Structure formats: structure tokens, C-alpha cells
Amino acid sequence: RKEVEQDPGPFNVPEGATVAFNCTYSNSASQSFFWYRQDCRKEPKLLMSVYSSGNEDGRFTAQLNRASQYISLLIRDSKLSDSATYLCVVTVSGFQKLVFGTGTRLLVSP
Amino acid sequence: DTAVSQTPKYLVTQMGNDKSIKCEQNLGHDTMYWYKQDSKKFLKIMFSYNNKELIINETVPNRFSPKSPDKAHLNLHINSLELGDSAVYFCASRGGSSYEQYFGPGTRLTVT
């Protein structure tokens, strides 16, 4: 079983749609949680951190459920520029080691 | 100025050759990493150095040898390249107590 599991997609949505991605992690000792974004043939970049209380950054909302070991990302009012792969990431050993999920691909169409 | 840079961007070589990839960061970070992203896009950590000291060494064949001449540089040397080594190799860095890792643009290695 992979340490971090995601639905690979692709999720095909029209502009303006709301889309949600889910992620589960297996290591209950995981300490910090993030969503990274990776555009095609580019490097991953931090999108946002995920806190137990839930957090929002503009059109993006992230949630963490430690009991269920489950992380989510909600994107409202999708834009064409949101098309990318979204990587769920957890840390072990403090901040030293990031463990990446395989990513969920999002395609937003006009 | 590029924060984390890698050279070369593309590398095509034959099986059995030895090659090196270089990484430099100008962010003043103490910790650097090498990741491998395979054809299925799975990104996996290989090594991590903190102030030139190896702190993470995942299960990687010993044909792969990282070297950190100073805390701004982390190079990766690969001996006896195999077809399965074909992947994109990303360098990353992280500073102090921050959790964010900054990635370089990647080196696309193709072994024929």
C-alpha cells in the first residue's frame, strides 16, 4: 500500500465548476500536510498547507481529518489556469522528508 | 535569478555510461534533496543533505552517489546507467524551520 494515495483522474471540468480532490495517508505519525501543484513538464510548487481546522486561500480550501487520515482540496470557480496535477504531500521525520502522492490530474475546459 | 538551478536540463546517454547532474541553490538554505519522478509521475525522495551532511538515504542503488561540496550545491553522480534510470530528477532545497521545499526545473534523463 502506498503511503499517500490519490485518485489519478483526470478530472475533466468546465470553467467555473467546483471540483474536489481527496487523499489518504497510511502513516499515523505524519505531522504536516500540504498540497503541491505540478504543471506539465515543470517542477512541483507549494500550493497550500493543510491544517486540522481547515484553511482557505482564495478559491482553494483544504481540509484535514487526522482520525480518518484523509486530506481534501476543494477548488471553486475553476479557471483554465488551474489545469495541472495536484500532489498530496505529507511529512515524516519533522519537515525533513516529504512523501508525495501520485497526483490527481485536473483539466479545466472552456 | 533562478532560486534552484540544475544542469543539464536534458541528458540522453547509453546504458553503462556514467553521468553527473549538478544542482545549485542561491536561497541560503541548509537542506537539499534529490527526488526521482518516474514515467508514472511518482515523485520519490532519494537523498537529503543538511549542511553538507547526508541525513536521508532512501533505498537507492549504490550506483547513485550524491556529493555536497558546500551547502549551496548538491550533485548526483550515477554509475553504470540502466534503462530503468530514465526519469526526471529534481533537486530541491529547504531553509531553517520552514516546511516549504523549492524545486529546481528538473533534469530529464533518458538512457538508451
CA distances from A58 to A52, A77, A80, A81, A101 (A): 18, 10, 16, 14, 24
Residues in A closer than 8 angstroms to B90, CB to CB, are: 43-44
Average pLDDT of adjacent 10-residue blocks, chain B of 112 residues = 90 97 95 92 90 86 94 96 96 87 96 97
Query: What's the pLDDT score for residue A12?
Result: 96
Query: What's the pLDDT score for residue A29?
Result: 85
Query: What's the pLDDT score for residue B41?
Result: 82
> How far is A77 from chain B, CA to nearest CA, in Å?
26
Answer yes or no: is pLDDT of A17 > 90: yes
Q: Please give the average per-residue pLDDT across A6-10, as a whole number.
A: 91
Cell of B27: 536561497
A59 touches chain B (CB under 8 A): no
For A59-109, the pLDDT digits (tens) are 999 999 999 999 999 999 999 999 999 999 998 766 678 899 999 999 999
Please tell me which of the candidates B94, B99, B103 has its beta carbon nearest to residue A43: B103
CA distances from B104 to A43, B8, B91, B98 (A): 6, 11, 5, 17
